Every structure is written in structure tokens, then in C-alpha cells.
Amino acid sequence: MKRILVVLMFTVMSLNAVALDLWVKGGVTQGAGSKQMEDAGYNAGLELSQGFLGFVDLGAGVAYNGNLKFEGVSGYDNPGYDLMPVYVFAKFNIIPVAVKPYAVARLGKNFVVNDSTNYHGESEAKGAAYGAVGVGIEFLSSFQGEVLYSISEVKNNPSGKDNVEMVSLTLGYNFW
């Protein structure tokens, strides 16, 4: 047991030494574009990043966008699914001072989960490309607020479009 604790402490201290940031995020999403979602959805995410040159952070993350149900889709009872994008990102710190505004760009792949579209008894909606751009602000050295516009490609989408457009508002907390 002591060995496990020593290894765990060494791992945490090593991550601190290379200045990795671990962000836990959560917020709300709303549909954008011509096919609107019925209600606002939710999102949760985890990001790991490393700062470079004092004004650029590069990293990777995973998010979960839930409660994506589409209105006005004929032939389906309450069609919907959740999306789970896995992505890499670049965050550009505009003015790296106490309150840090930034711009962010993300690129990755979507996975469709919890699919309730029920195409003749089986799910055929498939995730594909994911892209997002946004702006945010870091404050109090551990908190983050972000507005993000994302496009998620979903093949066989019951809304009739292959692209799901969303606007997200998230709040995050940095553990390291």
C-alpha cells in the first residue's frame, strides 16, 4: 500500500513539475443553425494542457454533450442522442495577466452514444469530425468561463442534416 501511495505522489508531483493543467468543465448547450434542438442540453468535459511560450496552451480533451433532441423530425418519436467528442486544442492567451482572455480552437472526432433514434430497431447514427472555435477568460488562477461554437458531423442524423451546430457556455476549474 505504501508503494502505491509513493508512486501516486511521485506521479502527481511529476505532472506539477511539467506544469500540466487539468481542467474539469461543465455547462449548457443550445442548438444553432436551421435544425434546432427542443431543449437546452448539457455538457461536461476534461482537458489536459501544457503551456508553451507563455501565450499558447496545447492539449487534448474529451467532452460529453447530452440531451440532444431535435424538434420537427417526422417519423420519429423524440429522436435524440448524445455526442462525445475527443479532440486536440490550441488556446491562445490574448493578454496573459491576472484576468486572461483567450481564443480556442478544437479539432477531433465525435462518437454517438445513448442513441434513441430507433431506425427500425437499430441505431445507425454515426459520429464523424468535430470542430469548434470559441473565446473565454481565465480568472482567479483556477477558474475559466468559455463560449464555444461547435460543428459535429453525424452520419444518418434523424434531423436530416449531417452537421449538428451548437453553442456552449461552460465553466471550468483547474486542479493543477
Domain boundaries, given as residue ranges, for the chain:
21-174
Mean pLDDT of 118-143: 80
22-77 residue pLDDT tens: 999 999 988 776 556 667 788 999 999 998 887 899 999 999 988 776 665 555 55
* Alpha-carbon dihedral 70, 127, 168, 78, rounded to 10 degrees: 20
The confidence score (pLDDT) of residue 27 equals 93
Query: What average pLDDT score do residues 75-102 get?
Result: 81
Asked if the model's pLDDT at residue 128 lies above 70, the reply is yes
User: Of residues 153 and 173, which shows the higher confidence score?
Assistant: 173
Q: 13 vs 47, which has greater pLDDT?
A: 47
Q: Output the pLDDT for position 171.
A: 95
Q: How confident is the model at residue 126 (pLDDT cuts 50, 70, 90)?
A: confident
Read off the pLDDT of residues 131-169 as tens digits, 9 standing for 90 and up: 999 999 998 888 999 999 998 887 776 656 678 888 999
Torsion from C-alpha of 157, 158, 164, 165, nearest 10 degrees:
160
pTM: 0.79
Cell (9 digits) for 50: 501544457
Q: How many CB atoms lie within 10 A of CB 156?
A: 13
Q: Which CATH number fits domain 21-174: 2.40.160.20, 3.90.650.10, 3.40.50.80, 3.40.190.10?
A: 2.40.160.20
- Above 90 in pLDDT, residue 101? yes
Q: What is the 3-state secondary structure (H, E, C) of 32-100?
A: ECCCCECCCEEEEEEEEEEEECCCEEEEEEEEEEEEEEECCCCCCCCCEEEECCEEEEEEEECCCCCCE
The pLDDT of 10-20, averaged and rounded, is: 61
Residues 86 and 136: their CA atoms lie apart, in Å, by: 20
